[in-house]
Amino acid sequence: MKQIALAEFRDHLSKYLLEAEKELIVVTKHGRPAGVLTGFATEDDWFDFQLENDPRFLKKIEESRASVRAGRGVPWEQVKKEDDERTKAFSVPRKARRRASRGR
């Protein structure tokens, strides 16, 4: 984590935006932390940041955790089994894919 003064930050914003893709940058004002610059190297990073800071998503996570603690969770084995069954139901056999690709 890097610390820089506000005046330095203002003078070199583009430089620090690039650096923020790799590490957090704390901007100080009169020697005290005033803010944090977070960069996004990819669209996925931006999406993750939005999700992780969305109060609706955080509320849903907390509700789900409370449900699991209360014994109303679904075992992983059941989720996996249902997913495998759903995948099988929608998969197309290899021979049928070949016939379809030849126009038969």
**pLDDT digits (tens), the chain, 104 positions:** 999 999 999 999 999 999 999 999 999 999 999 999 999 999 999 999 999 999 999 999 999 999 999 998 888 899 899 999 888 887 766 665 566 566 65
pLDDT at 3: 96
pLDDT at 86: 86
pLDDT at 39: 93
- CA 25 from chain centre, in angstroms, equals 20
Task: Find where tokens 């583009």 sit.
Answer: 14
DSSP per residue, 52-100: HT-HHHHHHHHHHHHHHHTT----HHHHHHHHHHHHHHHPPPHHHHHHH
Q: Across the strands, what pairs with 36?
A: 26
pLDDT at 65: 93
Percent helix, strand, coil in the chain (nearest 5)?
60, 15, 25
pLDDT at 44: 95
CA distance 83 to 89: 10
Residue of 58, 15, 13, 57 whose CA lies nearest to 35 = 13
Q: Across the strands, what pairs with 32?
A: 29
pLDDT at 87: 87
pLDDT at 97: 55
pLDDT at 99: 62
pLDDT at 89: 80
Which letter does DSSP use for residue 26 in this model? E
